[in-house]
Structure 1
Amino acid sequence: MAAAKYHGVELDPRTFRGEPNEPSPSPATLVRWLDEQGLVAKGMRLKWRYLLRMHNTPPIVLMFKDGSAGLFISADHNRGVVWLRDPMGTESDPMVAVDELRLSQVWTGDVLLLRRARSGAEVETPVDMRWLMRVVMREKSIMRDIMLSSMVLSVLTILPALIIMQVINKVIAEHSMATLFSVTMILVILTFYETLLSYARRELTLVVTARIDSRISLHIFNRLLALPLEYFERQQAGQVIGRVMQIYKVRDFMTGSLLRTFLDMFTVIVILPFLFLLSPTLAWMTLAGAGAIGLIVIVFMAPVGYYIGRVITAEMERGSVLYESIAGIRTLKTLALEPARRQEWDEKTAEVTRWKLASGRMSNWPQTIIMPIEMFISRGVLLVGAYLALSDPNGGSVGAGGLVAFMMLGGRVAAPLVGFARLLEDFTEVRSALAEAGSVLNNPTETRALTTGMRPPILGALSFVDVNFTYPGAANKALDGVDFSIPAGTMLGVVGRSGSGKSTITRLLQGVSRSYTGYLKLDGIDMREINLNHLRRSFGVVLQDNFLFRGTIRDNITAGRPGLTLDDVVRAARLAGAEEFIERMPAGYETFIEEGSTNISGGQRQRLAIARALISDPKLLILDEATSALDPESEALVNANLARIAKGRTMVIVSHRLSSLVDCDQILVMEQGKVDDIGPHSVLVERCAIYRQLWLQQNRHLDTNRPAGPAPMLAEGD
């Protein structure tokens, strides 16, 4: 943390997630964590003599054998000592001089170098062909080795052809067995080296392909997670998944046909001069045939690209139907919607088939036109070469051996040239796929907000000053001049009719939307100035419908804090009223939750979500209709614990059940995006007409001056 502070980044140790079976953080684990916090980190191993030469460098973290660390400040080469400081201390703490002998007893030799990221430039780079090429060029050292091996293989390819030419022209004509034996041994040796070099090139190609694939996959997933929640709320999940998956078509192209053709082009560069040396006429014929194929492909690129784009769109729409059907299978089954969904699936499948058939027919035309040219390159050149050999019996133009050698080398040249021409056709599909992926991944992200900004200690005082907010595409304001403030430790209830702006307030508090005007302050600091990751980790949020991940109950409660103990889990479960049903389960906290939480009830799932929000002891807890899905018994249990839950933290509770908000310190009444009133229950029921009307609707059978228990009512969503 001290090294990060030197670079202007405040780290929150609560955000660190170590490996499950790792006794102490490894450099690799720390590097991953620091990268997430807006720093660029690198772990490496150093020897003492190199450490001693480091002068005027930023603080460096030295990893110790007992799992702790030291902060390297500077070195004195003349005295043979380095100056260290306790990383958990302050800058005023004295430095300690350590020599090689003392340091070798505790130092593992690993160091951690870090610097501030350059404003997230790499993460924010648009996903396009230039970005993909930069990803490939990051492996330039291996690519250089691959190119070198390809050039050597090309040379080794020429030698057998020249030897065969001499065998036909000289050995057979002169019946020389000794020469034949010598030539055979040379061919065996060349074959051995060519086989060995080919294996090495394939191994290097596999390595660079795996690295490129990993870089693309990691960047795409990180970019997807960095997109704001608002984007996902406006898009169909199936469409998003379908478009993102198109990037893997691009990946296959980059690491497959493009790489192979690129390597084969070295063969063309090396072999082509020898073809002209053997027979300029046949060489020009081969080039002309390959050029004609390329011209045909270019002519058909636009129409083929159009149909390929329609195929991709139709497949994404069909995939969206499949995703929605699986995600909503419970509703689909309970409402007997199988026939309707089946009909929609049939229609989408028919559309995919129709466009695929049209695309295939369009692609069939250039393939049909190209086929005679390919046959001419493989067969016609042989016939023309035979004619040239017969027309000049002395072999002035090309002899029998030269013709055989030309055909051996010509095939190695024609295939890459034809492949390069077909590559243009593949590029059309790749360009369409990349455009679809880019339509998702190139949207503005939260990367800057997640990695920059202030990281102050959170107390929980909230202040809205003339806050206005309008949802994209909406005509009316969701919040209109909202003004109110509460001190830290306040339990605030938020009520109002449907569409009054209750949930919008919680969205702004969570940082889901930052495009508001006015000032929303947390402990006197504008929330737009606070690091978004730090902000969200300091909050606890429980929604009306919460998702539990596949895993144990303990894993779900500690999802954001995997390092916490079972005692912490039990304490959070007890506060949420979940302890009693967890202990009745077969494996207790180790009970495995199935996908979709089918083995627990809705009320139990909600209490686990509350426990998950409380496990980190947040200073501000948001409950957005969190108790609406609970049965009366569970709701009464959670409400009874609200006083204990609220102790030492600010709570914002959005609920349509006013009975659960009676004990709140303040209740905010919203009406059409404006603040109608704010005050305790006893005051509002007397002076606020909207609040009194809502209270009477829910408690007609009770005296308005009596506190009321939970009462069922029709849900009023926001």
Structure 2
Amino acid sequence: MQRGAVAHPDQAGGPAGQTPPRRAPELIRLQAVLRAARFHGIDLDVRDFAGEPDDPAPSIPALARWVEENGGTARGMRLQWRELVRLHDVPPVVLMFADGSAGLMVGADEAAGVVWLADPFASPEAPPVAIDALRLEAVWTGDVLLVRGQHDSTRPEPPVDFAWLRRLVLGERRLLRDVVLSSVVISVLAIFPPLIVMQVIDRVVNFHSMATLVSLTGLVVVMAVYEILLTHARREITLVLTTRLDTRISLAVFDRLLALPLEFFEREQAGNIIDRISAIYKVRQFMTGKLLGTFLDLFTLLVVLPFLFWLSATLAWMTVVGAALIGVIILLAMPTVGRLINRQIRAEMARSAALYETVAGIRTVKTLALEPVRRAVWDEKTADVVTASLDAGRMGNWVGTAVMPLDLFINRGIILIGAYMAITSTTSGMEAGALMAFMMLGGRVAAPLVSMARLIDDLNEVRAALAETGSVLNRPTETRALTTGLRPPLHGALSFANVCFTYPGASAPALDDITFSVPAGTMLGLVGRSGSGKSTITRLLQGVSRNYTGHLRLDGIDLREINLTYLRRSCGVVLQDNFLFRGTIRDNIIAGRPGLTLEDVVRAARLAGAEEFIERMPAGFDTWIEEGSTNISGGQRQRLAIARAVISDPKLMILDEATSALDPESEAVVNANLRHLARGRTMVIVSHRLASLVECHQICVLDHGQVVDIGTHAELLGRCAIYRTLWMQQNRLPETGGPPLATMQGDAA
């Protein structure tokens, strides 16, 4: 195969006599996936791709995650040529090449022995190239990526419950099958040592047969080797199984958490949410620990129990009945124990929430000397946990005490009865060797039976933990809005028509019949008293709240019809108190666009006025930002937030009190940069400081959720009483009474 035709498609397809510049292999691979996704109606943006830092070429898992984050499905596979050439009428298939690039297979002809590859960067009308097996296998790794269309958005998301967990577990059918097979073989091998012991006692010891002893010793050694190897294999498979289940559960839980709307996180305590989500790990530990162990021991029970009945039906029935009685006792105590465990879990969650709140607000605790207050809260929560733990523990202790006689009977009493039967072997047929064999196998049977009975008790805690996790994850998510919808090119024209919105639980609407419109490229200021609805408008523009009435359009398209992920990535948002992640300055600036380069970072920092102070830092853009941004000033943090917002060159920017917490010097720097940032984009600026809005093309005055007036600064000073009052309050000096209104109007004009 000609590498230039597929691995480096930029070398082909151009005008005759011209050689286009070579593209990097990783860009070719990304473009191939982008083309395959576009075939299914999925629009990808290369700047959104987040690969592994140490991987020079985009890996299949990273590419699949990129597709799935945008609403599609993708699966990596390894194929042989004979399998690949049979893919006749299939959507485009991405073939991975050894140099890190990729090709796009658009067809195959098994009779001719060729596949048809398209240049990922070429026009869709460009003819594909026929490649045979010899030339393809010279560069093809055998890996392919299959891209499919969007998920069924009409299907409701399954609730997080035992059925959800069962589906995750059944996703590892092959490993479960291997574990079961190895457990069955080990269980069968477990029968032979007791049999050999029985023969040693009844035949070798009684008849002093050295030849039989040697034969049995050799058999024991051989079976021991097999059992050791099988046990090691089962442990290895079980370890892989539990690790994969842990990964599946962790990824599913975190994806579901990220899909929850922002309104939920604003209403709930962060510590409470974290503790409820962490409860899923109790379920995971139960599934991969006690449940899996008991499930495997069950096969031992099924294999060994018939052999016990063959040795002595009387002793075997005693063992089964004793374990059954243990189960009855636990079942009777289960409702009470379950209530106490639920109470204990809720008390522990409340204490964890108090701890998180204290750590998150430690600066306020220290500056206001609130240590005694927080200590009193912690003492109260700890007392609740101790009381609940004692009650649950005491109930469990009573259950354990009631079960203990039966447990002792199974482990010790049955042996004494067996000894009696061996002494009176003339009637029972129980010999000393059979008794020893029963003792060895009885423990293997009694332990699973008791574990199964006690497993019921553990289900109480697991059910409670799963219910707590479900109380968070089973809430309505934004998954459908995040993965479906339109992705039109945005310019920034905004239109509100009779928009009304009321927060859940509120008696009065936050927005009441809001109607106004501004063209693309407008600097729009939002002003008004506290609670007038300024921030609510910005929330609607970001898609945070979508249950409004009326029509809110962006470039003539209803905002609720636009893909939510696409909308938020197309908007740059700067808040009053912006959060920076622990990491380098560069990582924070490209947090939303991990595929961008250092040149993009520098350009964004220059636009935000942050390049100057970044260059003065010892490590420049690699300077590490500590947790809470304690090693940079408030003004520097705001400028980094602005750089993070503009790095994707958004056509719509929202600044919600972005300068209110800054000192005058930092505010002057940020305001000076706004004029440069406003070129070619729509800006919505919320500010209580009217001086920062004077240069806005339009200023919208809000009061009690309604639009009072909209116009320029000079127009509003002349005709809007609310705006004029706010301007006078902010510009009149208390000592002098301030300049007269006519002077201010003249200056503004």
TM-score band, normalised by shorter chain: over 0.9
Match of 1:267 in 2: 300
Q: Within the alignment, does 1:91 sit opposite 2:124 as a pair? A: yes
The residue type equivalent to 1:705 in the other structure is Q
Equivalent residue for 1:285?
A: 318
For residue 673 of structure 2, the aligned residue among 641, 644, 657 is 641
1:533 maps to 565
Map 1:64-83 to 2 at 5 A: 64-83=97-116
Q: CA deviation at 1:405?
A: 1.1
> Separation in 1 of the partners of 2:657 and 2:308?
78
**Structure 1 residue 121, shift from structure 2 partner:** 8.5
Aligned to 1:517: 549
Q: What residue number does 1:620 align with?
A: 652
Residues 120 and 379 of structure 1: is their aligned pair in 2 closer, same or farther, counting only changes over 3 Å? farther
1:668 to 674, 683, 700: 700
The 2-side partners of 1:107 and 1:559 are apart by 33
Mapped pair 1:320 → 2:360: no
1:20-54 Cα deviation digits (max 9, x unpaired): 34333232321121121111111223333322221
Deviation digits for residues 696-716 of structure 1, max 9, x if unmatched? 11122343225579xxxxxxx
Partner of residue 630, structure 2: 598
User: Is contact 2:194–2:441 with CA below 8 Å preserved after alignment?
Assistant: yes
For 1:456, the equivalent position in structure 2 comes to: 488
Name the amino acid aligned to 2:403: I
Query: What letter is aligned with 1:175?
Result: H
Q: CA deviation at 1:626?
A: 0.4
**Equivalent residue number for residue 705 of structure 1:** 745
2:535 paired with 1:500: no
Larger deviation, residues 94-103 vs 127-136: 94-103
Q: Say if 2:534 is the partner of 1:490.
A: no
Q: Do 1:606 and 1:629's aligned partners in 2 also have CA atoms closer than 8 Å?
A: no
1:475 matched to 2:491: no
Which of 303, 306, 310 in structure 1 is aligned with 2:336? 303
Counterpart secondary structure, 1:622: strand
Equivalents in 1 of 2:62, 2:277: separation in Å? Answer: 28
- Contact 2:481 2:563 (8 Å CA) reproduced: yes
* Structure 1: 4+ residue segments shifted above 4 A: 120-123, 706-709
Cα deviations by residue, 1:437-466 (Å, 9 ceiling, x for unpaired): 111111111111111111111111111111
What is the CA-CA distance between 1:106 and the residue it aligns to?
Answer: 4.7
Deviation (angstroms), 1:164: 1.4
Alignment of 1:18-29 (within 5 A): 18-29=51-62
**Preserved CA contact (<8 Å) 1:310 1:355:** yes
Whole-angstrom distance in 2 between the partners of 1:707 and 1:548: 40
Give the 5 Å matches for 1:46-125.
46-119=79-152, 124-125=157-158
Q: Report the TM-score when normalising by structure 2.
A: 0.92
Q: Deviation per CA, 1:44-92: give whole Å up to 9, x if none.
A: 2333332222111111122344544332111122333322223334433
- Give 2:477's aligned residue: 445
Residue in structure 1 matching 2:720, options 665, 685, 688: 688
SS of 1:667's partner is: strand
CA deviation after TM superposition for structure 1 residue 118, in Å: 2.8
Give, in whole Å, the separation in 1 of the partners of 2:298 and 2:505.
52
Q: Which 10-residue stretch deviates more, 482-491 or 247-256? A: 482-491
| CA distance, structure 2, for counterparts of residue 570 and residue 10 of structure 1 | 27
| CA distance in 1 between partners of 2:72 and 2:262 (Å) | 24
Pair 1:658-2:698 in alignment: no
Superposed displacement of residue 147, structure 1:
1.0
Q: 1:189 aligns with which of 222, 226, 241?
A: 222
The yes-or-no answer on 1:134 pairing with 2:167 is yes
Partner of 2:381: 348
Cα distance in 2, alignment partners of residues 63 and 456 from structure 1: 31
SS at match of 1:536: helix
Aligned position for 1:415: 447
CA shift in 2, pair 1:139/1:464, >3 Å: same
More deviation in 569-578 or 98-107? 98-107
The whole-number CA distance in structure 1 between the counterparts of 2:425 and 2:81 is 76
**Aligned-partner Cα distance in 1 for 2:376–2:363:** 18
State whether residues 48 and 595 of structure 2, in contact with CA within 8 Å, keep that contact through their aligned partners in structure 1: no
Per the TM alignment, residue 109 of structure 1 is displaced from its structure 2 partner at its CA by 3.4
Q: Deviation string for 1:519-548 (max 9, x for gaps)?
A: 111111111111111111111000011001
User: 1:559: which partner in 2?
Assistant: 591
User: Which of 245, 253, 263 is the matching residue for 2:286?
Assistant: 253
Query: Structure 1 residue 613: deviation in Å?
Result: 0.6
Could you tell me which amino acid in structure 1 is paired with residue 182 of structure 2? S
Structure 2 counterpart of 1:530, one-letter code? I
3-state DSSP of counterpart to 1:114: strand
Question: For the residues of structure 2 that align with 1:551 and 1:666, how far apart are their CA atoms?
Answer: 38
Name whichever of 398-407 and 281-290 sits farther off: 398-407
In structure 1, the partner of 2:600 is 568
C-alpha distance 265-516 of structure 1, shift in aligned 2 (>3 A): same
Distance change in 2, residues 1:117/1:489 (3 Å): same
Deviation at 1:231, TM superposition (A): 0.4
Superposed, 1:332-371 pairs within 5 Å as 332-371=365-404
Distance in 1 of aligned mates of 2:116 and 2:93:
11
2:48 to 15, 19, 34: 15
**Ranges in structure 2 where 5+ consecutive residues have no aligned partner:** 1-33, 733-737
Structure 1 unaligned residues grouped into runs of 5+: 710-718
Q: Partners of 1:274 and 1:195 in 2: how far apart? A: 22
Equivalent position SS for 1:63:
strand
2:664 and 2:748 map into 1 onto residues whose CA distance is 13
SS of structure 2 residue aligned to 1:475: coil
In the alignment, is the contact (CA less than 8 A) between 1:123 and 1:219 conserved in 2? no
The amino acid that maps onto 1:204 is: I
Match of residue 31 from structure 2: none
Determine the structure 1 residue equivalent to 2:662.
Answer: 630
Contact 1:539 1:620 in 2 (8 A): yes
Cα distance in structure 2, aligned partners of 1:111 and 1:575: 41
Q: Take 1:603 and 1:707, find their aligned partners in 2: how far apart are those partners? A: 30
- Give the match for residue 640 of structure 2: 608
| 1-structure distance, mates of 2:669, 2:428 | 102
Asked if 2 retains the 8 angstrom alpha-carbon contact of 1:459 and 1:523, the reply is yes
CA 1:188/1:45 → structure 2, altered by over 3 Å: closer, same or farther?
closer
Alignment of 1:138-217 (within 5 A): 138-217=171-250
Secondary structure of 1:324's aligned partner: helix
Deviation at 1:101, TM superposition (A): 4.2
Match of 2:3 in 1: none
Question: Contact 1:3 / 1:71 at 8 angstroms: preserved in 2?
Answer: yes
CA contact (8 A) 1:125 1:131 kept: yes
User: Per the alignment, do residues 123 and 107 of structure 1 end up closer, same or farther by CA in structure 2, a change over 3 Å counting?
Assistant: farther
Q: What is the alpha-carbon root mean square deviation over aligned residues?
A: 1.7
State the match for 1:677 in structure 2: 709
Shift of residue 633, structure 1, vs aligned partner: 1.3
8 Å contact kept, 1:495–1:656:
yes
Q: Which residue of 2 aligns with 1:229?
A: 262
